[in-house]
Amino acid sequence: MREFRGKTAFITGGGSGIGLGMARALLGRGMNVVVADLLESHLQEARAALSGTNRLHCIRLDVSDRAAMREAARETERMFGNVHVLANNVGVSQRNPIDEAGYEDWDYVLGVNIGGTVAGLVEFLPGMKAHGEGGHVVNTSSMAGMIPVPAFAGVYAASKFAVRGLSDSLRLALAPHGIGVSVLCPGMVKTRAMTAGDLYRQAHEGDAADERRETIEGGMDPFELGETVAEAIAHNRPYIFPHGEFREEVASYFNDMLAAFPTDFELDERRAASEERRARMTAEAKAMADALGGES
């Protein structure tokens, strides 16, 4: 998607951190931007940080609430018309390790991280496909969706692996509609995603708590990351890996998987034909998806 000016973006988790970085980068390229966030304090900060434009609109939203997501899609269209960029960015974690997590932990994390992404796709994609003007979807996964992580982040990792997988498939599905897809897999970023976790959960469960938490220091500047995402949208890059320090670890992980494949095997004719047909269909769809952005 080369042209941004005058088009519209919808960003979940856009009131702080990575989402706010995306919002500033896209506003800077002339887009209308709708920022959705669960915490009113974050929306207030977003309004202050992005002041001086009438191309910003904020919505308080629980992404796991499907009816609320449907209304957010309608409100966005009423404000700015057709949506061209959908950023399913919001993400939450929990404190219990994966081997001790209860149903409530799994339901909360999967409901927001996967359920919220699915809700965004279900409510926004029909309009994006129908208007025929092309566009782009950015789904925020994590490096925790690429490599094994300690047990305390296991439930979160499960959700982020799912987001990565659905993004790979979605990219192939949306190419015929002129819509690109990128999956964002960041490492540490200066956000409050961890320190605000309890507040998000309280607000998600209907409690009134809504206050500020401290920013994680030592991570990448979210505004720098926002610019990286905008460039990836412009060039239709399938993967956004902003943190180079993970490269060797990811390579080692994937090399372990490659080493586990048998090398001495035979396929019967029917199985070989089926696999050849599947691989050909995937390759054709991938070529069409990659062609949307020209250079990658």
Q: List the catalytic residues.
A: 156
Instruction: Give CA–CA dist 140/146, Å, rounded.
Output: 12
Residue 34: half-sphere exposure toward Cβ, Cα within 13 Å: 28
Which of 172, 108, 188 minimizes the C-alpha distance to 137? 172
Going by C-beta distance under 8 Å and a sequence separation of 6 or more, which residues neighbour residue 100? none
Residue 286: half-sphere exposure toward Cβ, Cα within 13 Å: 9
Query: 236 with 1: CB under 8 angstroms?
Result: yes
Query: Which DSSP category does 38 fall into?
Result: S
- Please provide the size of the chain in residues: 296
The torsion defined by the Cα of 160, 166, 169 and 175, in degrees rounded to 10, comes to -100
Angle ∠(181,156,118) on CA atoms, nearest 5? 40
Which of 199, 147, 3, 17 minimizes the C-alpha distance to 90? 17
Query: 71 with 123: CB under 8 angstroms?
Result: no
